[in-house]
């Protein structure tokens, strides 16, 4: 991996970390009342959703499988705030549509996701909706299986997102990086809780403390990836698995998913809150400012 790419994705990751945690501490855990909306709240006509513009993603539904593609290949599918909101809304729409039974996430081009677009880093306006928090709220509310077709490298969110999907098919030559300590901050997206569940405490500590690159085969070895395949076969395989699931009784699949994932939900919410509080303490500290400045100078 070229040094220039490493520096770029490090800075992109800085943005997602900074924008992620400029949030009120009351956000995590989400209040139970958020989920007690009347059913009529969701009864919007399908035409309403079809008219919503999508600038940074594409969404297609075929044979009950909704594919959401990160479509910023010129930015290595780095996220800006609008893209977070688009992905969150696409997941919500698929979740509420009877025509959609399985969701597939993938990236356009050679990268899955290179963190967040540093060029659009800015302090949020007082009334601005923060995309990162909206995305993870939608992931928590989602009832339908999500398969990640990881077509290339992932940095920051490009890996931590895989901790919240159900099945991951990963390109065999892809690599992943969690540069939190390099940026003098802390893990995000409940990765401080979920990584040790996959890798064990020893390996997770080594990955987080050293901020080294992680090979695709390591994800498969611990069960964070179901399979590693040539990059050009990843989406095809993800769609094949999604197609099988989509033919099963949908309510049974959703109930099964809830039983599998619900035991972790409260602990994930607590981890998100802890990470957010820890990040706020790190953000703006002399050590954190120096670390980010080093990346700009390198």
In terms of CATH, what superfamily is 3-297?
A: 2-enoyl-CoA Hydratase; Chain A, domain 1 (3.90.226.10)
DSSP 79: B
The token pair at 137 is 């709220």
DSSP readout, 10-32?
Answer: HHHHHHHHHHHS-S-GGGSSPPG
Could you read off the pLDDT of 130-163 as tens digits, one per residue?
A: 888 899 999 999 999 999 999 999 999 999 999 9
pLDDT of residue 26: 37
* CA pair distance 76, 116, nearest whole angstrom: 10
**Residue ranges of domains in the chain:** 3-297
Residues of the chain with pLDDT under 50: 15-51
Q: Kindly give the pairing relationship between strand 227-229 and strand 57-62.
A: unpaired
pLDDT of residue 293: 81
pLDDT of residue 49: 41
Could you count the other beta carbons within 10 Å of the beta carbon of residue 96? 17
Q: For the whole model, what pTM was predicted?
A: 0.82
pLDDT of residue 42: 37
Q: What are phi and psi of 136, to 5 degrees?
A: -75, -25
* CA pair distance 111, 76, nearest whole angstrom: 6
Could you read off the pLDDT of 15-51 as tens digits, one per residue?
A: 444 444 443 333 334 443 433 434 343 344 443 444 4
């Amino acid at each position: 991996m070229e040094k220039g790419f490493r520096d770029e994705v490090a800075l992109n990751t800085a943005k997602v970390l900074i924008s992620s945690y400029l949030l009120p501490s009351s956000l995590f855990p989400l209040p139970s009342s958020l989920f007690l909306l009347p059913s009529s709240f969701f009864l919007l006509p399908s035409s309403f959703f079809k008219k919503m513009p999508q600038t940074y993603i594409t969404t297609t539904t075929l044979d009950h499988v909704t594919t959401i593609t990160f479509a910023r290949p010129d930015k290595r599918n780095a996220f800006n705030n609008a893209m977070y909101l688009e992905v969150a809304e696409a997941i919500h729409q698929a979740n509420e549509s009877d025509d959609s039974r399985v969701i597939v996430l993938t990236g356009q081009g050679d990268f899955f996701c290179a963190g967040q677009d540093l060029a659009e880093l800015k302090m949020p306006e007082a009334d601005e909706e923060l995309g990162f928090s909206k995305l993870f709220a939608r992931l928590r509310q989602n009832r339908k299986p999500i398969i990640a077709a990881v077509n290339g490298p992932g940095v920051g969110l490009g890996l931590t997102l895989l901790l919240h999907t159900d099945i991951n098919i990963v390109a065999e030559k892809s690599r992943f990086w969690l540069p939190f300590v390099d940026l003098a901050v802390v893990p995000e997206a409940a990765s401080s809780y979920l990584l040790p569940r996959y890798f064990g405490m020893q390996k997770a500590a080594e990955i987080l403390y050293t901020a080294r690159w992680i090979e695709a085969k390591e994800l498969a070895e611990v069960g964070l990836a179901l399979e590693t395949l040539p990059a050009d076969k990843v989406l095809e395989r993800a769609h094949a698995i999604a197609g099988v699931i989509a033919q099963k009784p949908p309510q049974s699949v959703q109930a099964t998913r809830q039983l599998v994932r619900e035991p972790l939900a409260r602990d994930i919410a607590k981890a998100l809150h802890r990470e957010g509080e820890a990040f706020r303490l790190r953000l703006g500290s002399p050590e954190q400012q120096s670390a980010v400045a080093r990346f700009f100078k390198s």
